[in-house]
Structure 1
Amino acid sequence: MTAQPARPTSRDVARAAGVSQATVSLVLGDKWPGRVSERTAGLVREAALSLGYRPNLAARNLRLGRTRTALLVVPALTNEFFARVYTGAAEVAAEHGFGVVLYPSPAGIGPATDPFASARAALDGVIASSMATDALDAIRGADLPLVMLDSDPAAPGAAARVNLDIADGMRQVTEHLLDLGHRRLVHLASAVPSWTFDVRAGALAAAVRGVPDAILRTVSAPLEVDAGRAAAEHALTGPGPRPTALVCDGDILAAGACKAVRRLGLRVPEDVSVTGYDDLALARAVEPELTTVRLPAEQVGERGMTALLAVLDGREPEDSELPVSLVVRGSTAPPSAAGRP
């Protein structure tokens, strides 16, 4: 029987890189920043790769009392935004030998139950996207570090926060419509109680208040295409002059609004302009394509996982706010002569 080659050890890596075993441990355990130069860290990684060295994670985790697993809690699995947040978090986690478990809260709103017999035994930390801090009490009862994404910065209890400049996104949308000449706007608002939607509503109202002849009405609907269609039809057929622009809290609602416009024998954007928020794949699938706000969802996940790793490493995490950008497409245009004030 042919003898199997000996599995390379950390001592072999140290010898190949010309460093101590302690240095190898620091670099491969992601403890090197501030202790080892980038050049030395690169030499260690190259040596480990060339030798095919794989650290014994099970033994290391047992020694450190770590599971190297993070829980990402989201309101729902059906929204592409949260899938992209997961992708960003998982990529950073994989670079550090961590895994990420994705978990939706019940029905998209309300308290999230502990998905494990003991979260403390199964997890190292929790990342929560677009949820209220008090919705996580059952999980946080395990005294795990918590990083909040897209959440109220005034709410207590988080070790770090990563937010998007949600208010600026809505300001960009509103200013775009006002600059086109729209003065009769309807806010097609999400019926889901959430900090992020409250911020959107506040920013929209503030921007419209700055224009004396502008009028804003609000109708709300669940985050579903059919619900958005029904709410938009109600707004477009109600008493008084017809609105010339529908400002939607999400691309899903905007898709429903576009259907409502067509069902009423009107056109987007000639008769009614429609805007979305999120820049999901859906925004390019509708015709005309949606003017919407692009959110860097993958970057949100990356920053969130990076912050959690900093907490677990005993470093001070950084709160951050990511910019968003308006993407102008075919669903917006100046109001027709009949729609102008």
Structure 2
Amino acid sequence: MSSPPLPAGRPTSKDVARHAGVSQSTVSLVLADKWRGRVSPATVTAVRTAAAALGYQPNNAARSLRLGRTRTVMLVVPVLTSPFFGAVHTGAARVAARRDFGIVVYPTRDGVDLAAGPYTSAAIDGVLASSMAVEPLGTLRAGNAGDLPLVMLDSEPGRGVTTVNDDVAEGMRALTEYLIGLGHRRFARLRSAVPSWTFDARDAAFRAALGTATVVAEASSALLLDEARQAALPLLAAPARPTVLVCDDDLQAAGAYKAARALGLRVPDDVSVSGFGDLRYARVVEPELTTVRLPAVELGARGMAALLDLLDTGTSGPDVVLAGELIVRGSTAPPPPG
């Protein structure tokens, strides 16, 4: 039996249905990726094959009007220049593209609040927000009846919003216990100055894992190279000099390398240094940095999937926790004698 003739003009979903031998509603379910549990895999294949053969492209403007949606979501991140948030965007964008959504990327102001901008809840269907509290998003969400759908990344769970988090506490615990296992007992701590759940969770896990070890010096800095260098200088020059400096972020650790060099100290012979995140800086410094690898691309992908599922079903999914990995490199070693 021959296939139906190809349409003369731009193919429609009705043409796809006729070509695949199914109903238009089935085509809609398949092309909207809502077929699971409703349409057989064989039929899905037939619909997708027909759409590809016809060169079918959905009319997004018409579909948006019909559904009352813009098919645009907002990704809120603290900064646009961080490799971590670049990776988060990569994962989120892949999932959004597969489900025919666009993304607006929006930075926060100092990692705390939304900067002023043209977007309102009427212009977007949902928000995927990373590394901030729920409350600063209130103004944006308030214009939407019943609140704009929201999923949080790297943010405090238990606030009535679905979260997708890296297991930063377990990562910091594993790192601290590894350093103690090397023999370190005099720790310095360079924390992030950004007020965020993720950094609070790292610090709490660090202190819980110390045991009989002590923190002989500590400070906070922004996640900037020069600020981290300035903050690390007095830590490494403390009278009871630490044998290891634990940083909240790889860029801070790179600043600590510069501070150690300025003081005539060698890493790791005189002082060990650790980071967190396994960003590009971790492999650029010499020696390469011991750190905790966070699955940033997967974080963005899983978060976007959770948000789009929420838009489809109206029901929040379970919180997700993604495991990190301790990466041991040349920046850590047993403490020097004495």
Matched, 1:14 2:17: yes
1:141 matches 2:142: yes
Q: CA deviation at 1:114?
A: 5.7
> TM-score of the superposition, structure 2-length normalised?
0.93
Matched letter for residue 329 of structure 2:
R
1:70 aligns with 2:73: yes
Return 5+ residue gaps in structure 1 as ranges: none
- Tell me, yes or no, if the aligned pair for 2:267 and 2:331 is still in contact at 8 Å: yes
Who is 1:85 aligned against?
88
Q: Please state how far the C-alpha of 1:42 moved relative to its aligned partner.
A: 1.9
Could you tell me which residue of structure 2 aligns to residue 193 of structure 1? 195
Q: Is the 8 A contact 1:223 1:252 kept in 2?
A: yes
Task: Report the number of matched residues.
Answer: 328
- Once the two structures are superposed, the pairs formed by residues 287-298 of structure 1 within 5 Å of their partners are 287-298=286-297
After TM superposition, list the pairs within 5 Å mapping 1:1-341 onto structure 2. Answer: 5-106=8-109, 108-113=110-115, 115-116=117-118, 119-142=120-143, 143-156=147-160, 158=161, 160-208=162-210, 210=211, 212-215=212-215, 217-239=217-239, 241-314=240-313, 316=315, 317-338=317-338
One-letter identity of the residue aligned with 2:242? P
Q: Residues 15, 228 of structure 1: CA spacing in aligned structure 2 closer, same or farther, 3 A cutoff?
A: same
Q: In the aligned structure 1, how far is the partner of 2:116 from the partner of 2:164?
A: 23
Cα shift readout 1:248-268 (whole Å, capped 9, x = no counterpart): 000010000011111111100
Moved more, 37-46 or 280-289: 37-46
Give the Cα–Cα distance (whole angstroms) in 2 for the partners of residues 154 and 318 of structure 1: 11
SS in 1 for 2:132: coil
Structure 1 runs, 4 residues or longer, greater than 3 Å off: 213-217
1-side partners of 2:209 and 2:117: how far apart? 42
TM-score w.r.t. the length of structure 1 is 0.92
Deviation by residue 1:167-206 (Cα, 9 ceiling, x = unmatched): 0010111011111111111111111111111111110001
Maintained 8 Å contact 1:113/1:138: no
Q: How far off its partner does 1:56 sit?
A: 1.0
Once the two structures are TM-superposed, the CA of residue 113 in structure 1 deviates from its matched residue by 4.4
**What SS does the corresponding residue of 1:8 show, helix, strand or coil?**
coil
| Rounded Cα–Cα distance in structure 1 between residues aligned with 2:95 and 2:318 | 16
Opposite residue 74 of structure 1, the aligned amino acid is V
The answer on whether the counterparts of 1:112 and 1:138 sit within 8 Å (CA) in structure 2 is no
State how far apart, in whole Å, the 1-side matches of 2:259 and 2:217 are.
17
Deviation of 1:222 after TM superposition, in Å, equals 1.6
Q: Render the CA deviation track for 1:297-326: whole Å, top value 9, x for unaligned.
A: 111111111111111111532320000111
Residues 121 and 141 of structure 2 are in contact (CA less than 8 Å); yes or no, is this contact kept in structure 1?
no
Q: Report SS of the residue matched to 1:91.
A: helix
Aligned partner of 2:264: which letter? Answer: G
| 1:236-292 deviation per Cα after TM superposition (whole angstroms, max 9, x unaligned) | 1122x2101000000010000011111111100111100000111111111111111
Letter matched to residue 252 of structure 2? L
Find the residue that maps to 2:105 and give its secondary structure: strand
8 Å CA contact retained: 1:111, 1:137: no
Which SS does the other structure have where 1:35 is aligned? coil
Q: Which stretch has the larger CA shift, 44-53 or 248-257?
A: 44-53
Q: Is the 8 A contact 1:292 1:326 kept in 2?
A: yes
Which secondary structure does the structure 2 equivalent of 1:26 belong to? helix
SS state at 2:270 partner:
coil
8 Å contact from structure 2 (residues 225, 254) kept in 1: yes
Quote how far apart the aligned CAs of 1:20 are.
Answer: 1.6
Paired letter, 1:83: G
Separation in 2, partners of 1:213, 1:13: 68
Q: Is the CA contact 2:107–2:115 (under 8 Å) kept in the aligned structure 1?
A: no
Distance 1:266 1:290 in 2: 16
Contact kept, 8 Å, 1:114 with 1:139, in 2: the verdict is no
Kept in 2: contact 1:228–1:254 (CA 8 A): yes
Task: After TM superposition, give the deviation of residue 111 of structure 1 in Å.
Answer: 2.1
**Whole-angstrom distance in 2 between the partners of 1:312 and 1:256:** 42
